Amino acid sequence: MEVDRRKDVKDFDDSKVGVKGLLDSSGTTLTTIPLIFVHPPDQRFSDLKPTSAGEIPVIDFSGLVNNSDHQRRPEIVNQIREAASTWGFFQVINHGIPRDVINRIISAVRSFHEQPMDIKKMFYGRGQSVCFLSNSDLYQSKAASWRDTLKVVLGPEPPKMEKIPEVCRDEVIMWAHHEIVVGEMLMELMSEGLGVGPGRLKEMGCLESRIMLGQYYPYCPQPDLTVGIVPHTDQSIVTLLVQDQVGGLQVKHGEEWVNVKPIEGAITVNVGDFLQVISNDKYKSGEHRVLANGSLNSRVSIPFFFHPAASNNTELDTTDYYGPLPELLSPNNPPLYRNFTLSEFWRQARSKELCMKNLMDGFKIVRGHQDQRKSV
């Protein structure tokens, strides 16, 4: 069975059609999903009853973007600190990005995925800075998820313009510009929430490495047997996400899964593993998942990830160490994680399937074996 699965996975990958291609090639006749997408019963999302955990916080940036109301900044910092430490997720409204710009990037990503298969095949791959693929952990996971992805690495070195698909090229470049502006503002506020200088995260290069994913969740004829994305945490500093109105994103809060209700024009922000580590657990990396889409309307979501970049901006640095910020540490608040290099962090991240939540466990300190090397 395992041998057959490996062959089926490779055949699917070699076809370069993605999940949308499976639907397109079958017309309207696809009623069952291939076995490689069927998850074991204990890994399916059976707990879909309404939860009592409430809704993720919504934070209004009115007055902050244009600096018209300086008195609101401490209030917003407090709201972000509370949301980042208890949920790991929040939504931001009135953030300064025009609604039309958001609609254009969502529409452009949808247009890419709904092109003829022969055009999309030209972009299919797994190692390129710009590529179309299905399931980044296809070969590591025990079951595939029902989604396709357009990946664009936008920093530290931007891709050549001609590498970005023409159907969404202008929109991707414009979106990257807006996300950097909002990302820098958010990192200042989150730094202040930690009690360090507003430029601290930027000084560490946390805005320099940038990846955009254009996620596409087509109709699934058997959504109860598979998933859109397995439960996981992001490996980023922070992730900024926009989505259409179809819905399907859920966040874990306590022991319950909470639906993230789409708010038109809002940006959903979540804390990543890297920020949890350098904040010494003051901020929590938010676990989340996406349901398989049983709606005839395809779902589009666009996460934008910010990671630290190597100091030379060309390759992973092997001498700079990252870990809990020294300013946050004291005898009463010792480091919970050892220091590590970017290359070590990514080596661990890439060796695991997406649902493995023990990435940070590999850097946790066992008392008596603390790493004394200095962090950046």
Three-class DSSP labels, 132-149: EECCCCCCCCCCCCCCEE
Of the candidates 285, 242, 259, 290, which has an alpha carbon nearest to the alpha carbon of residue 56?
A: 259
Of the candidates 197, 251, 221, which has an alpha carbon nearest to the alpha carbon of residue 38?
A: 221
Q: What is the pLDDT of residue 237?
A: 95
Q: In what order do the strands lie in the sheet with 249-253?
A: 229-232, 288-290, 249-253, 256-259
Question: Does residue 258 contact residue 251 with C-beta atoms inside 8 Å?
Answer: yes
Q: What is the pLDDT of residue 345?
A: 86
For the chain, 376 residues long, give each residue's pLDDT as a single digit of tens. Answer: 455 889 999 999 999 999 999 999 886 578 999 999 999 988 888 655 555 567 999 999 998 877 666 789 999 999 999 999 999 999 999 999 999 999 999 999 999 999 999 999 999 999 899 999 999 999 988 999 999 999 999 999 999 999 999 999 999 999 999 999 999 999 999 999 999 999 999 999 999 999 999 999 999 999 999 999 999 999 999 999 999 999 999 999 998 999 999 999 999 999 999 999 999 999 999 999 999 999 999 999 999 999 998 643 334 444 578 999 999 999 999 999 999 998 888 887 776 655 555 667 788 887 654 444 444 4
Domains, the chain:
5-317 (2.60.120.330)
Q: What is the pLDDT of residue 44?
A: 83
The 8-class DSSP code of residue 301 comes to E
Q: What is the pLDDT of residue 316?
A: 41
E strand or H helix at 232: strand 229-232
Query: Amino acid letter at 189?
Result: L
Q: What is the pLDDT of residue 51?
A: 59
CA end-to-end distance (rounded Å), the chain:
48
Q: What is the pTM of this model?
A: 0.91
Q: What is the pLDDT of residue 219?
A: 95
E strand or H helix at 102: helix 99-113
Of the candidates 193, 190, 347, which has an alpha carbon nearest to the alpha carbon of residue 272?
A: 190
Q: For the chain, give me the number of helices (H) and strands (E)?
A: 9, 12
